[in-house]
C-alpha cells in the first residue's frame, strides 16, 4: 500500500540526520498573531511601510515606539501553538537542525527552539543606536524614548526595517543550512519575500527533499517534492508521529 503524503513526509523526516526549516507568517497566524495591516484607532492613519523605516524613526522615534509597543502588547497575548512545539521536538530529534524564520514575534523562542535564525529580527529584542548593545526587553511599559541600560543611548526595536539590509551573518548561516540539509520543511510562507523565498530552491538544487506545509498553493508548490495543504498546527505533529 502506498503511503499517504503525510506518511511519506514523516518517513523522510524520520530518516534525515540534517534538517532545515523555514517558517513564515502562516505558522504564527494560527497563534492569533495579527498581520498589522488592518490596524485600528490611531494606526489607521499610517501604513506599516511608513513607520517601519529608519527615516520614520529618525523623524519621530516616539511615534515609531508607540506603534511597536502596541504590536508587542498584542503579541504578548499569543502563545506557541502545536506547530511551534512540533518544531522544537524535531530539533531535539535531528542530529543537525536549523530553524530559519521570517517572523519577529519570538514564538519559536518561547516554544523552546534553540538553533534559530531570525532573519528579520525579534520584536522583544532592542538595540542601542549609540553603542550597539543588544538585549531582550519584554516590558510593555517602556518610555516613549527608551534608553540603553549600558550607555543611555536611544534604543530601537531589533527588527529589519524597510530599506535596511538583512544581517549578512544570519543570511549566510541560512544559506548554509539550506544547502547542507537532507530534508527541508517550508511552513506557512507565501514564498514571495526574498531572499528567504529562495532557500527552498537552494535546498532542492543541493539534493534535499523539500516539503511544503501551507494553507494554499504557493509559487514553490510545483517545485517541492511534497506539498501538504492544511494548518501547520495539525500537520506538523503528524509528521513527528513516525
pLDDT tens per residue across span 58-101: 999 999 999 999 999 999 999 999 999 999 999 999 999 999 99
Please tell me the predicted confidence (pLDDT) of residue 192: 66
Examine residue 195 and say whether the peptide bond preceding it is cis (omega within 30 degrees of 0).
yes
- C-alpha 44/C-alpha 53 separation (Å) is 17
**Residue 4 assigned as binding residue:** no
3-state secondary structure at position 6: helix
The strand pair at 155-159 and 134-136 is best described as unpaired
Instruction: Give me the mean pLDDT over the 47-56 stretch.
Output: 87
Which one from 84, 108, 120, 158 is the annotated catalytic residue? 120
Angle at 127 between CA 143 and CA 141, to 5 degrees: 25
Is residue 120 part of the annotated active site? The answer reads yes
Examine residue 134 and say whether the peptide bond preceding it is cis (omega within 30 degrees of 0).
no
**Residue 39 assigned as binding residue:** yes
**Considering the chain, what is the average pLDDT of its residues?**
92
**Residue 153 assigned as binding residue:** no
140: pLDDT strictly greater than 50: yes
C-alpha cell at 173: 548561516
- C-alpha 200/C-alpha 183 separation (Å) is 10
**Residue 35 assigned as binding residue:** yes
Phi-psi category of 34—alpha, beta or left, where left has phi over 0 and alpha has psi -120 to 50? beta
pLDDT tens for 176-225 read: 999 999 999 999 998 766 777 789 999 999 999 999 999 998 888 888 99
Instruction: Give me the mean pLDDT over the 100-112 stretch.
Output: 97
Specify whether the CB–CB gap between 75 and 123 falls below 8 A: yes
Amino acid at each position: 500500500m502506498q503511503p499517504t503524503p503525510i506518511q511519506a513526509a514523516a518517513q523522510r523526516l524520520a530518516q534525515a540526520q540534517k534538517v532545515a526549516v523555514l517558517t513564515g507568517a502562516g505558522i504564527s497566524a494560527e497563534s492569533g498573531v495579527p498581520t498589522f495591516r488592518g490596524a485600528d484607532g490611531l494606526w489607521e492613519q499610517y501604513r506599516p511601510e511608513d513607520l517601519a523605516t529608519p527615516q520614520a524613526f529618525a523623524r519621530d522615534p516616539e511615534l515609531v515606539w508607540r506603534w511597536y509597543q502596541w504590536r508587542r502588547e498584542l503579541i504578548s497575548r499569543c502563545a506557541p501553538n502545536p506547530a511551534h512545539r512540533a518544531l522544537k521536538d524535531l530539533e531535539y530529534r535531528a542530529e543537525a537542525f536549523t530553524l530559519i524564520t521570517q517572523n519577529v514575534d519570538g514564538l519559536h523562542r518561547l516554544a523552546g527552539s534553540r538553533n534559530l535564525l531570525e532573519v528579520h529580527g525579534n520584536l522583544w529584542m532592542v538595540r542601542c543606536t549609540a553603542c550597539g548593545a543588544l538585549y531582550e526587553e519584554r516590558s510593555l511599559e517602556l518610555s516613549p524614548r527608551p534608553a540603553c541600560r549600558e550607555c543611555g543611548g536611544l534604543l530601537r526595536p531589533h527588527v529589519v526595517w524597510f530599506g535596511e539590509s538583512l544581517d549578512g551573518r544570519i543570511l549566510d548561516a541560512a544559506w548554509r543550512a539550506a544547502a547542507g540539509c537532507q530534508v527541508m520543511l517550508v511552513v506557512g510562507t507565501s514564498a514571495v519575500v526574498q531572499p528567504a523565498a529562495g532557500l527552498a530552491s537552494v535546498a532542492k538544487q543541493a539534493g534535499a527533499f523539500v516539503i511544503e506545509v501551507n494553507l494554499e498553493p504557493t509559487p514553490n508548490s510545483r517545485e517541492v517534492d511534497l506539498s501538504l495543504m492544511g494548518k501547520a498546527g495539525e500537520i506538523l505533529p503528524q509528521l513527528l508521529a513516525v
